Copies of this chain bind each other. A is one copy, B any other.
Amino acid sequence: MNYCSHCGHTVRFAIPDGDDRPRYLCDACGAIHYQNPRIIAGTLPVAGKQVLLCRRAIAPRLGYWTLPAGFMENGETVEQAALRETREEACAVVESPSLYTMISLTHINQVYMIFRGTLQGGYAAGPESLDVELFDEADIPWDALAFPTIERTLRHFFDDRRRDRFELHSSEIGEKERERYFGSA
């Protein structure tokens, strides 16, 4: 951030009075420009013993497999965002979604919220997907998953299914685990 989005003046990065961390400040109009994490909402669509994955048609991680997920928009609930992304990327409907993994990515300021639910009816590749397919656990392309959040969600799912007990998993993915996927760049 270089300029005040309100008045167009240059901003400086400093700790405001009474605050404890630096913000982008505008000395011209007095605006404080807070920056906050963004939510990525998605689903884990389950069909019998199988789960639905999408192969990405867009960067980043083009060609890699993911769960349908994307940035939550203003004006919708977290759940609505997850179902919208599922509709857009997999042309699919998920019933009875319940929050299943909440993963904070502290170094890139994202929070993943993935809802587990039952795939209802058909599916097809949306404009952001090359393929959409159902996978048995044995066939999951572990080495071709797009993001560590997806791997973690799938591992929780198959573990929980084995012990027949599903619960919300809340965790963090830091820089080290991301480097396994993306290198240190």
A31-62 CB mask vs B (1 if < 8 Å, else 0) is 00111111100000000000000000000000
Least distance between A118 CB and chain B CB atoms (Å)? 17
Interface centre among A7, A79, A170, A172 (most CB of B within 10 A): A170
The distance from the CB of A90 to the nearest CB of chain B, in whole angstroms, is 17
Tell me if A184 is interfacial: C-beta within 8 Å of chain B.
no
Is B3 within 8 A of A5, CB to CB? yes
CB-based nearest B residue for A113: B102
Chain B residues whose CB sits within 8 angstroms of the CB of A10 once the complex forms: 8
In the complex, A107 Cα to B71 Cα: how many Å? 17
Chain B min CB distance to A58 (Å): 10
Stoichiometry, as copies per complex, reads 2
Neighbour of A3 across the interface among B6, B24, B78, CB < 8 A: B6
Which of A96-141 touch B at CB < 8 Å? 98-99, 102, 104, 106-107, 109, 111
Determine which of B1, B77, B111 lies in contact with A78 in the assembled complex, contact meaning CB atoms within 8 Å.
B111
Contact of A77 among B7, B80, B104 (CB under 8 A): B104
Q: Does A75 contact B (CB under 8 A)?
A: yes
Q: Quick check: B168 and A99 within 8 Å, CB to CB? A: yes
Add 20 more A-B contacts to A76-B104, A79-B104 (CB < 8 A): A1-B6, A2-B5, A2-B6, A2-B8, A3-B4, A3-B7, A3-B8, A4-B5, A5-B24, A8-B8, A36-B39, A36-B71, A36-B72, A36-B74, A37-B39, A39-B111, A72-B111, A80-B104, A98-B170, A168-B168
